[in-house]
Amino acid sequence: MHFDRPTAMRFFNCNNLYVSGLKHINSQKNHVSINGCNGVTIEKLHIIAPERSPNTDGIDISFSTSIQIHNCTIKTGDDCIAINGGTSNVNITQVACGPGHGISVGSLGHNGAHDEVQGILVNKCCFNGTRNGARIKTWQGGSGFARNISFSDITLIAADNPIIIDQFYCNGRVCKPTNESAVQVSDVTYTGIQGTTVCKKATINFSCSDTVPCTNITLNNINITSAAPNSPLHSRCINAQVTAHLTEPP
């Protein structure tokens, strides 16, 4: 018999919502869901779930606008914060993420969906032992856009996949690249991202669609080193228009 696991706290169609000072431990599914809301401030939340607990996102946002998330500690088995379709004008600052799957835009375009996300600012956050860092993930066959997204002043501590755009997201399965439509990813900026990684693949990984390539991707002052001594790092760029201004390691 199948029982759907509940979300611990769900806010639907709220205006001028303020949530502060709560502690969530071991939600069966995602801890906090924001859906169809306008004008939300979330601060000083402490969210905890085991590292291997599936689908225990810290904060899920969808079809909402004008969202402020500040000064939170999120330790989960999935995305610390997931920004889904229909969402705009989100400001995330001083969030300590880890363990978890990072702060993610998406996934977008699942089952051919048309999704739109824009105006996302992630600033002064820390990824400690996360599976991903700053991530954008879209499914093949979808449509819409993810644009005007900024990750800045990010600290990495032994994080995997620190910077990743994946237009071939398949939720852990192996999906073959196709010539299907894709969610357009554009105007994404990464500035002042520094720290260490355990990534054995591409530290900076832009895997974009040949049908709808990623455009206007900018890297400024990136300084990521391996957590393992004498372990070289490399980048991967497929179908992405990238401008990079990189600092030399000290």
Q: Is 234 a catalytic residue?
A: no
The rounded distance, in Å, linking the Cα atoms of 218 and 6 is 39
Catalytic entry in 57, 78, 115, 166 = 78
Question: CB within 8 A of 197, min separation 6: which ones?
Answer: 156, 158, 159, 160, 162, 203, 224, 225, 226, 227, 233
Catalytic entry in 24, 31, 101, 110 = 101
Buried b (16+ CB within 10 A) or exposed e, 139-168: bbbbbbbbbbbbbbbbbbbbbbbbbbbbbb
Q: Is 24 a catalytic residue?
A: no
Cα first-last separation, the chain: 57
Catalytic positions, written as ranges:
78, 101
